[in-house]
Chains A and B, each alone.
Chain A
Amino acid sequence: MKVPNNKKISRREFLAVSSAAAAGGVVGGLAVGGIAGYFAGQSAAGPERTITQTVTVGGATVTTTAVQTQTVTRTVGGLEDAPRKIKIGATVSETGILTASVGLLGKAYKAAEQLINQTGGIYVEEYGRRLPVEIIYYDDKSDPATTERFYTRLATEDQVDIMIGPFTAVNAIPAATIAERFGVPHIDGAAAEKPIFNKKWVVGVLDLVEKWLTAYFEMVDWYRENRGYKIETVAFANSDEPFGNEVSDFGIKLAERRGISVVGHEKYAFDTQDFTPIITKFKAEDPDVIIMTDPVGILQAIFWKQAFELGLRPRDFHPAFGLLKAVRDAMGPQLSDGITSDDWMPPELPYESDLGKKFYEKVQAAAGYKHEEYPWQTIHYACLEIALKAVHVAGTLDKEKIREALYSMRINTIGGPWHAARPPDEFAGRGTILPVPIQYVGGVKRVLWPPELATGEWVYPAPWAR
């Protein structure tokens, strides 16, 4: 397991690292050149050529080889006289109970739109030129009925070319249904419940949401075996809706497979004010771990605050949205220190996409947030990456061709390699991205799992349980 340390590195190690970095820099530079072609867009794919380049860094010679696509310039005109725009539609929960999770997503979309268009738009072969991107989004007010109404509008009145799903299952399920009804390519974002998939027009960036806790329980296995962590009982609490139910139900199976006793499973509504009854039951069972799942997030802070008040002290509290800054702020530093949670596409992961991390950093800066404040927005940003790439790969704005591209392409997103599961997969369309368990210790986030990506060890029991 990779654990961070402050060990000083030797000159030899430094040279080895710098040589590798130099090699990476050359390959990366070529890759960036390719990306520039993709976004500058005034190019058509041509024959490939091999470039061999030798550089000397600090006395060490590094030879790198990369394959570059030769580009042929076909300048037609600026974005202002483009025959049409690539229209991407979405809704965002700018108001309502989901605001804390994705409140700035609309700004992120518009920032990305502006930056992409500044870079030159997206090359679409059918038009032989680059086209500007227009992202149309509406505030769904965190409400499924409003979401359904706006996705219908996006499909019919706005006639978007491709749609990005809204946040969480209660809104994402009706949105996917609308996409299917009107035959619009649809990329599902931070929601991956089973009813969303196995449709003709819908793919998702994430793997099934029920697998949310898979990595957590793998981590539990490892720490029980290698560190002797005593984890024998677990209790689940979740909102009584598709997201909460799927995560908890599968989580219970994962626990039981490992011989971990499930001593409680309680459900609650979004408008629950008082968690005393659930806390009282859990307290009687004294579980080692409490796993809490709902798409509101702040309810997890309210639960935890009340749990502390009532003297409930599990060895680990694992709120699904404990990553959110708003949730940790609501808990306060004393109560949030030591909680574990899950992150999707954290910047600590070594993945690069076509657009690149730097580009996303610019989007975040323009929209006024950081990943830790709105991590689910990163997932929706990855949807945008997939949408743009699908249009580019399809080479047309024909919806059927874009749909085919979505199912056939394999790309790197900011959250890792992505492709959509194809039929006959029972949940065709589901993506490949899964979360990684994290923990906040002393206010600093550490990625706990998988071992090759971990940035720190899991502190268990948490400070409050000692």
Chain B
Amino acid sequence: MSVETHLTIILGGLLLGGLYGLIALGLTMVFGVSRILNVAHGDFVVLGSIFGLLITTFSGLDPFLIIPIIPPLFFAVGVLFEKTMVKRVIMRNTENTLAVSILATLAFAMIVEDISFFGLGQAGLNYVSLRVFLQPINILGFIIPTTRFISLIALVLLAISTRIIIQSTTFGRRLRATIQDRELAEVVGVNVSRMSALSFGFGAALAGISGLFLAMITSLTPFQGLHFTVIALTVVILGGLGSFIGSLVGGLVIGLAEAYTAFYMGTNWARVVAILVMIAVLVVRPSGIFGGRR
């Protein structure tokens, strides 16, 4: 197999893995702060792609130009979700919040998926894919797919920005404090309720922008939300709950594993890899790769 073939697979795997990492980071952040397992998290990814498609279709804007629009938009959607679904539905039952959160968000996911499916179906858009076509770059004889390359750079910048926000800002410090010990954080003056809303907003923003990138390089269907939630859970389990680095590394591992499995065994087998990795990690190291360092 040629070097170029490996480069293509690795680039695709890194890009997909990086996006998995960002999606997982949002999920782990929400769970860490509010102890709510948002099963509908993957649907924010799909919604990100749908919004991207709608905005580009109606405005005629290039998909790359709407990158700055999606995060604030989905931040607002996430906060709204927390204020309504979480506060008014899930938190009303304080006895068994985790179980209620799973059921309620699953129901929400199903509603969103059916509405998206119906809405897109009426428009004949059952596969969400943004029409981006840039001629590949030829560097020293290697063909580099431009859209993926630009997306990867944007993703790296996004990951660095997220890292800075979490590590170096007041919001980040409060967020980490809440994840580590919710009660103690509240005692020292952190507005935990506010942090919960912000974490939902932040998580949805990461999921939404990931969906936009995914629609630029691949395609999505309205029913893939749960798939992305499962992938995110796998990445969280692999990387370690609440770990930023763990999420990114876990995402890259899953992305590369999927890419190579699809190449050698066929695309049908790629989905199985994530599940096998999750089972293996749960058996060998339940706390995940970076779980012990928290």
Contacts and interface: CB of A to CB of B under 8 A. Distances in A.
Contact of A273 (B131, B146, B218): B218
A271 B124 contact: no
B267 A269 contact: yes
Contacts of B262: 274, 276-277
B141 to A, nearest CB: 11
A308 interface: yes
A161 B127 CA distance: 36
B87 to A, nearest CB: 34
A79 B221 CA distance: 46
B268 A274 contact: no
Nearest to A311: B143
B214 A273 contact: yes
Task: Give the one of B16, B146, B218 with max A CB within 10 A.
Answer: B218
Contacts of A266: 266-267
B8 A298 contact: no
Contact of A299 (B16, B118, B127, B266): B127
A310 interface: yes
A413 B8 CA distance: 49
A267 B221 CA distance: 19
A103 interface: yes
A276 B124 contact: no
Contacts of B136: 308-311
A156 interface: no
Given A310-B145, A311-B143, A95 B121 contact: yes
B148 A283 contact: no
A277 B267 contact: yes
A136 interface: no
A274 B129 contact: no
Contacts of A330: 129, 131
A302 B131 CA distance: 9
B147 interface: yes
A96 B129 contact: no
A69 interface: no
A68 interface: no
Task: Give the one of A240, A269, A274, A281 with max B CB within 10 A.
Answer: A274
Contact of B12 (A276, A332, A334): A276
Nearest to A302: B219
A271 B146 contact: no
A100 interface: yes
A129 B220 CA distance: 53
Interface in A14-63: none
A309 B218 CA distance: 11
Interface string B249-272: 000000000010011001110100
B127 A97 contact: yes
A268 interface: yes
Interface string A423-447: 0000000000000000000000000
Interface in B36-77: none
A309 B135 CA distance: 6
A314 B51 CA distance: 34
Nearest to A309: B145
B268 A306 contact: no
Interface string A329-363: 01010110000000000000000000000000000
A152 B46 CA distance: 35
Nearest to B215: A273
Interface of B: 1-2, 5, 8-9, 12, 16, 117-118, 121-122, 124, 126-127, 129, 131, 133-134, 136, 143, 145-148, 214, 217-221, 224, 227, 259, 262-263, 266-268, 270
Interface of A: 94-97, 99-100, 103, 240, 266-269, 271-278, 280-281, 283-284, 296, 298-299, 301-302, 305-306, 308-311, 326, 330, 332, 334-335
**A-B complex: 10 closest residue pairs judged by Cβ atoms:** A311-B143, A273-B218, A277-B262, A277-B263, A95-B121, A276-B12, A309-B145, A274-B218, A311-B136, A302-B219
Given A299-B127, A302-B218, A311-B136, 20 more contacts: A95-B121, A100-B126, A266-B266, A267-B268, A271-B224, A273-B219, A273-B224, A276-B9, A277-B266, A278-B267, A280-B5, A283-B8, A284-B2, A302-B127, A308-B133, A309-B148, A310-B136, A311-B145, A326-B124, A330-B131
19 contacts: A95-B121, A99-B124, A99-B126, A268-B268, A274-B16, A275-B267, A276-B8, A276-B262, A277-B262, A277-B267, A280-B8, A283-B8, A298-B127, A299-B219, A306-B217, A308-B136, A310-B8, A310-B136, A330-B129
